[in-house]
Structure 1
């Protein structure tokens, strides 16, 4: 039985590597349409497209590959641990899943934070106001509802300027990332100690 689980873990690990390579070569069109690229597409795309339907896309960034690779890594880890111990540890599986979810969520928050900081800096250092047709006006129309919603947590119903809302949102997202990391470390530690 141990050999079966070890072999399955190795195969899942190999498939994870192939899916990772497939994700990387989608960024290189010449390689993507080569014979090797088409082979990987045939092998990996049925699995990867299962996750592309999840609402994990922000602008041009798609975070669904993180979930797909993370779940394959989890499966490989579970199979490898089962081969070594002869048991499946639910606590370890739950801890890994929570860590994976937090990783995706914190990545999204990190991208949001960088975006808000860039916009805040542009507002501070620009001498003239943003024209209606500039790229920043389109950028603002995309992020301002979220910025005001985040800033509303502290400001409540009190109206604030866009620049102030950006500053408040930066502080709140930094606090959310810091507190979330501490809470997740404690929670993951507790989950991993579940004895079964």
Structure 2
């Protein structure tokens, strides 16, 4: 069970990284893959963008904070599952 959660967290992490990299190329973000990643990643990233403004109006660090939070949540879920599976 924990392996599945780790795999899902890892897949979503790769999706977030791909979405951030696609954001550097405006034409790629409008592609089919870019639109799908946008629909899957943007709701999660918008939570962090509400509280973390871009630095100097240009550099958006909210994806970095979102990745760290995702990692902590994944570790927390794994710890809770380990506790209850004993």
Q: Do the structures match in fold with TM over 0.5?
A: yes
Q: Deviations over 1:1-20 (max 9, x none)?
A: xxx23212211221111011
Which structure has more relative contact order (CA 8 Å, sep 6+)? It is 2
Corresponding residue number in structure 1 for 2:66: 68
Residue 45 in 1 paired to residue 50 in 2? Answer: no
Q: Find the structure with the greater CA-based Rg.
A: 1
Size of the aligned set, in residue pairs, is 83
CA-based RMSD of the aligned residues comes to: 2.0
CA distance in 2, matches of 1:48, 1:56: 12
TM (norm. structure 1) is 0.38
Indicate the residue corresponding to 1:87 in structure 2. 83
Q: Deviations over 1:96-146 (max 9, x none)?
A: xxxxxxxxxxxxxxxxxxxxxxxxxxxxxxxxxxxxxxxxxxxxxxxxxxx
The whole-number CA distance in structure 1 between the counterparts of 2:31 and 2:52 is 30
In structure 2, the residue matched to 1:24 is 21
TM-score, normalised relative to structure 2: 0.81
Where structure 1 has 5 or more consecutive residues not aligned to the other structure, the ranges are: 89-196
- How many Å separate the matches in 1 of 2:27 and 2:79? 39
* 1:11 and 2:46 correspond: no
> Partner of 1:34 in structure 2?
31
- 3-state DSSP of counterpart to 1:61: coil
> How far apart are the structure 2 equivalents of 1:44 and 1:55?
16
Deviation of 1:78 after TM superposition, in Å, equals 3.2
* 8 Å contact kept, 1:23–1:65: yes
